[in-house]
Amino acid sequence: MSVSEMFAALQGALGQDQDIREEIRKVVQALEQTAREILTLLQGVHQGPGFQHIPKKCQKAREHFGTVRTQMESLKTKFPADQYYRFHEHWRFVLQRLVFLAAFVVYLESETLVTREAVAEILGIEADRERGFHLDIEDYLSGVLTLASELARLAVNSVTAGDYSRPLRISAFINELDSGFRLLNLKNDSLRKRYDGLKYDVKKIEEVVYDLSIRGLNKEATAGAGGEK
């Protein structure tokens, strides 16, 4: 084989790779649009009247996740099944965003932390690496850390809306989450930096709870803790 023939063959391989990346990019753009729609919907809970419509917003968000599952099925067909990590960077960001959105919906519904297996089911992908297109553990953890920041914001807006018990529940949840992360020996630099931000979320929520205590509103919140969430 001549040098020109060798490079012609290489160009063919590069062209195929570029075609794969372009097809992935198109599906990822669709996923990003769906994620924006879900985020826009859920942002309504931060407004005063939004607290009254949390169940309805969560139901609507789950309908959008039906679209996500369809888009994920399309994404799986765009690259060889054994080359997940070769193309992982293309969908990593949007996947982390979708993990956060799924975790936020589950928290709003039950005030619990969604498992990685449950998120994978919501997104229509696998939890186990051996079974194909899956939810990487670090992507799951990154999404959970984004949830912590969102809940810190929700704690502040809850007070503004006159809901004084929710920040106490959020505080308990975030402290438990922080304890869980402390059990991990994080090696990933990006994930480690994200985790470092969790202490600021903890501090922000503690300040909200302290303010409620100073104003005497924590007693009212505690008294109403047995009511509806």
Each residue of 173-217: pLDDT tens digit?
A: 999 999 999 999 887 678 888 898 899 999 999 999 999 888 877
Whether the pTM exceeds 0.85: the reply is yes
Each residue of 16-26: pLDDT tens digit?
A: 888 999 999 99
Query: CA 162 → CA 67, 123, 152, 155, 156, distances in Å?
Result: 35, 34, 16, 11, 10
Please report the pLDDT score of residue 85 as a whole number: 93
Give the separation between CA 13 and CA 208, rounded to whole angstroms.
Answer: 57
Please report the pLDDT score of residue 47 as a whole number: 81
Determine which of 136-145, 149-158, 160-169 has the lowest per-residue pLDDT on average: 160-169
Please report the pLDDT score of residue 223 as a whole number: 52
Of 1.20.58.190, 1.20.950.20, 1.10.3720.10, 1.10.287.130, the CATH number of 1-135 is 1.20.58.190
Q: Where are the domains of the chain?
A: 1-135, 136-219
- Domain spanning 136-219: which superfamily? Translin; domain 2 (1.20.58.200)
Each residue of 100-140: pLDDT tens digit?
A: 999 999 999 999 999 999 999 999 999 999 888 999 999 99
Q: Are 113 and 157 in contact (CB under 8 A)?
A: no
Give the separation between CA 111 and CA 104, rounded to whole angstroms.
Answer: 9
Question: Is 37 annotated for ligand binding?
Answer: no
Please report the pLDDT score of residue 227 as a whole number: 47
The SS3 of residue 165 is coil
Tokens of 84: 């997940």
Please report the pLDDT score of residue 228 as a whole number: 46
